[in-house]
Amino acid sequence: MATDPTGDAPHRAGHTVGFADPASPIRLHRSSVIPDDGFTHGFPERTGGVSTGLRASLNLGVRWGDDRENVDANRRRLAAHAGYDPAQLQIMRHVHGTDVWTVGQPVPENAEFDGLVCDQVGPVLGAFAADCIPLVFAEPEARLCGAAHAGWRGTVAGVASNVIARLVALGGRAAAIRVALGPSIGPCCFEVGPEVVAEFRAAFGDLPGMVVAGPRKDHIDLRVAMRASLERAGVAPEAIDDRPPCTRCEADRFFSYRRDGKAGGMHMGFIGLV
């Protein structure tokens, strides 16, 4: 049984914008690099759920205080909309680390994984985020999929390359893997201190476009750094979708920790083999 990344109980399976109405539609941001044939995937926007306040409405995490009943209802609504069995959702508690779990392997007590991979039809992998990058991975030749949560620490430490390595260990080829970056904070909004800039430069060198001058401090383009990490791991440049919407900018579509803090909600990118 996987552990819920947004709370302590085992589970398997800002800005108020007025989207608590259950009649509001669920909307999925999807990527053209993930094949429709053989995979289900998506990055749900914030509409179509039952949560209220800054978590209105499709909040998918309980870690910051939403009612479990609301979150469970939201997860069921998403599963029904996307066409998967909510009992098949595979999720883990994220800790800004680089560990990867293979679905079907034993799960340690109080497990914490920021990446998941799977070679089975049925399970749907979830990766949670609220400004961090939720990533989904598809290897259509070997029939493999993966998901990951990557904040700046995970990006620097190489969580995405660890997922690639695990997919290769399952029989995939890095050159055949396709990766989509989900809605996340953009370079327009990701202001950081000099110590964070130093971490990125230590990991990626003087990568063009990674450090962006801001009005007060430097900003980081996480997408540029993540693309570099994926390409270094062997993913083809054209197989990377690295231009998702900015979560902080688009309050009517997305939750954002930087904008709303822990009073806000969480998204969940998902992918599964079908």
Question: In this structure, what are the phi and psi dihedrals at residue 16, rounded to the nearest 5 degrees?
Answer: -90, 130
Quickly count: other Cβ atoms within 10 Å of residue 41's Cβ.
25
Residue 258: closest CA among 187, 159, 167: 187
According to the model, what pLDDT value does residue 21 have? 46
Token look-up 């971490």 returns: 199
Q: Which residues of 223-247 are buried (b: 16+ CB within 10 A; e: fewer)?
A: bbbbbbbbeebebeeebbbbebbbb
Q: What is the pLDDT of residue 157?
A: 98
pLDDT digits (tens, 9 = 90+) for 103-159: 999 998 889 999 999 999 999 999 999 999 999 999 999 999 999 999 999 999 999
> Does 53 have pLDDT greater than 60?
yes
H/E stretch holding 129: strand 124-129
CA distance 225 to 204: 7
The answer to whether 127 touches 147, Cβ cutoff 8 Å, is yes
| Model pLDDT for residues 159-218, shown as the tens digit of each residue | 999 999 999 999 999 999 999 999 999 999 999 999 999 999 999 999 999 999 999 999
Tokens encoding 110: 């109080």
pLDDT tens, 71-105?
999 999 999 999 999 999 999 999 999 999 999 99
Give the separation between CA 234 and CA 106, rounded to whole angstroms: 28
14: pLDDT strictly greater than 50: no
Predicted confidence at residue 194, as pLDDT, reads 98
Domain 28-273 -> CATH class = alpha beta
Question: Is 254 or 4 the better-scoring residue by pLDDT?
Answer: 254
Task: Give the single-character DSSP code of 49.
Answer: S
What is the C-alpha separation between 100 and 64, in angstroms, rounded? 24
CB 147 within 8 A of CB 137: yes
Please state, in angstroms and rounded to a whole number, the distance separating the CA atoms of residues 87 and 201: 42
User: Residue 157: which H helix or E strand, with range?
Assistant: helix 152-157
Query: Looking at residue 23, what is its pLDDT?
Result: 54
**Selected residue with higher pLDDT from 192 and 19:** 192
User: Mean pLDDT over all residues of the chain?
Assistant: 92
How far apart CA 218 and CA 226 sit, in angstroms, is 18
